[in-house]
A and B are shown apart, each in its own frame.
Chain A
Amino acid sequence: MQRIPVTVRANLELAANDHGLEYIAGEGITGWDESACYQFTQRQIKEDIEGPAEEIEDLCLQVVDRAINTESVLQRLGIPDEFWDYIADSWRNNEKNLLGRMDFSYNGNGPAKLLEYNADTPTTLYESAVFQWEWLEHALDKGLVSEGCDQLNDVHESIVAAFSVIGLETLTHFACNADIEDDKGTLDYIEECANEAMLETCFLKMEDIGIDEQGRFIDLDNRIITSLVKLYPWEWLMGEDYASHIPTSGVQFFEPPWKSILSNKGLLPLLWGMFEGHPNLLPAFFEDDPESRALIDTGNYVRKPQLSRQGANIEIVQNNVTLLQTDGPYADKPHIFQGFEPLPDFEGKYPLIGCWMVASKPVGLCIREDNNLVTGKDAKFIPHVILD
């Protein structure tokens, strides 16, 4: 694994415009940096990322299988009890899942360590699936990268294939908070994939969803919503005014309700509890678990909220000193402790390796760099190549 400087495309602004990405003169594309790429060997990708991701996915599904039957676990995850049966049913009925992104700390040597699993509302999808691939084609064409460079990138084809296999027969709705460009852009892309799979789709804002007299969700034309691809976290849905209608609405959600167990950082202590010592896992404990004491005593740990986004409210302690503490709105919410595995330092850049899971298979890579150990919302996407 190396960080290799690359010449930026001459027509970057044009490329940004073509893809609807924000371009600022003098700065480049917001959230994207192609002045470097990360280069991996085949073996690194296959054995250190793809293999472990597939294995961890399997462990995660075992966690879900156990959690749905264990009230104390659902309670600890903070899932409202009126959703327990609903979530369990979605799992038992084998409701299909579409997308997730596992984030690893990996430096090219030794096992990648799972930091978290964004299993419900992962973003930077378009950059990973489309823009990154186009960059590679261009970079190969112009000789900006070595001949023979490849990418782990079957994201687009896999999403289209997943939609085809799921076999949604009626109109599929898509909804998110449309005021957030990033969210809307990500969801638009997923909708395009659905269209490519010949599905008929319709976008609406979360707040435009209505409810009819029979408790079914409806769109702005009062058409009944039977399947909904949402870029809106389950924990938000379960706390809003229409929450009580969700279990009886008859809607097939993507991601399915059982994903709410995996998108919670409580997953990390649950994984550790069941598979302690697994090479790709870090020790992790719920904050109120007495066993967390031993981890705290090592003086090297990370404290993070069970439910949070974009690196908010994370505290890193190294050698008993707080190295970093980020702000956010989740300070008074339940937290977990996780062993501290620093992101590798490449000349002051800290890459986080994301592995895209589509229908539970590892199909793509997403590397984001920040200037510190917590990858926040200002992190930049760096493309990758595979070369032996």
Chain B
Amino acid sequence: MTKSRSSIAISLMVGVSLIALTACDEPKVDASVFKDVEQCKNDPMMRSSQCEASFKEARGQHASVAPKYATKADCQADFGDEKCETAPYQTSSGGSVFMPMMMGYMMGSMLGGRSSMMSQPLYRSSKNPSAFRTADNRNVGSTTGRTSVAKSATSRPSFKKSTMSRGGFGSSGGRFGSAAT
């Protein structure tokens, strides 16, 4: 399981530096970012019903798209102490799976009352806790309310059913030795 952690940690770092390199070049789109549904409702630009519908949409995706870990410690190393929870999944051997807590959500701009994109949950990493990032580790900045984010950050986050891991094969070979017949 150490391997799964390092592979995710590496992708996190690569993600951060990529954003730094490409932030100026990438096309930006309008979006709204809130830490919770109350903050959204208090925004004079937003309608309560929109806030609630978007929050519900993001919340509904949270468990399926959040990054997954086989241990709580690995999750906390990436997202901070007390910032992880148990995911509603099990590893293939029946163990618990952990994921970061949802720390906010992002919705598209409301042109003509229709959101230009699906809402999605946001997270904060332990390395850069002021910035929100998507479930696919795209930095969307620390501004709440109306903001502009890289277009690539608004694409739909991928499903992450089980923790990415290695080492689920090979144990019998260790026990019995040669496969030769």
Which A residues have a C-beta under 8 Å from some C-beta of B?
Answer: 101, 118, 120-124, 175-177, 179-180, 182-183, 186, 205-215, 222, 231-233, 236-237, 239-245, 263, 309-310, 329, 377
Contacts and interface: CB of A to CB of B under 8 A. Distances in A.
Interface string B152-176: 0000001111101111111111111
A212 B169 contact: no
Contact of A207 (B158, B166, B175, B178): B166
B179 interface: yes
Contact of B180 (A121, A207, A239, A263): A121
The 3 closest A-B CB pairs, nearest first, are A242-B168, A177-B173, A207-B170
A122 B178 CA distance: 11
Nearest to A231: B179
Most B-side CB within 10 Å, residue of A186, A213, A215: A213
A232 B168 CA distance: 14
A242 B161 CA distance: 14
B178 A215 contact: no
A241 B93 contact: yes
B181 A205 contact: no
A240 B171 CA distance: 7
Nearest to B91: A241
A213 B165 CA distance: 9
A314 to B, nearest CB: 13
Contacts of B68: 213
Interface string B1-43: 0010001000000000000000000000000000000000000
B92 A310 contact: no
A222 B172 CA distance: 23
Given A206-B170, A239-B172, A212 B180 contact: no
B112 interface: no
B3 to A, nearest CB: 8
Contacts of A176: 173, 179
Contact of A240 (B164, B166, B170, B181): B170
A118 B174 CA distance: 21
Contact of B162 (A177, A206, A207, A213): A213
Contacts of A222: 7
5 contacts: A186-B180, A211-B164, A222-B7, A239-B172, A240-B172
B44 interface: no
B113 interface: no
A236 B165 CA distance: 19
Contacts of B7: 222
B173 A182 contact: no
Contact of A177 (B160, B161, B179): B179
A121 B176 CA distance: 14
B162 A215 contact: yes
A240 B177 contact: no
Contacts of A101: 181
Given A177-B178, A209-B169, 4 more contacts: A122-B180, A183-B179, A211-B162, A241-B93
Nearest to B174: A177
A180 B177 contact: yes
A317 to B, nearest CB: 23
Most B-side CB within 10 Å, residue of A101, A124, A208, A242: A242
Given A232-B173, A240-B171, A121 B181 contact: yes
Nearest to A220: B166
Contact of B172 (A122, A175, A212, A236): A236
Given A205-B170, A236-B172, A212 B179 contact: no
Given A206-B173, A213-B162, A240 B179 contact: no
Most A-side CB within 10 Å, residue of B159, B164, B173: B173
B168 A209 contact: yes
A254 to B, nearest CB: 14
A298 B7 CA distance: 62
B127 to A, nearest CB: 22
Contacts of B92: 241-245
A207 B179 contact: no
A209 B166 contact: yes
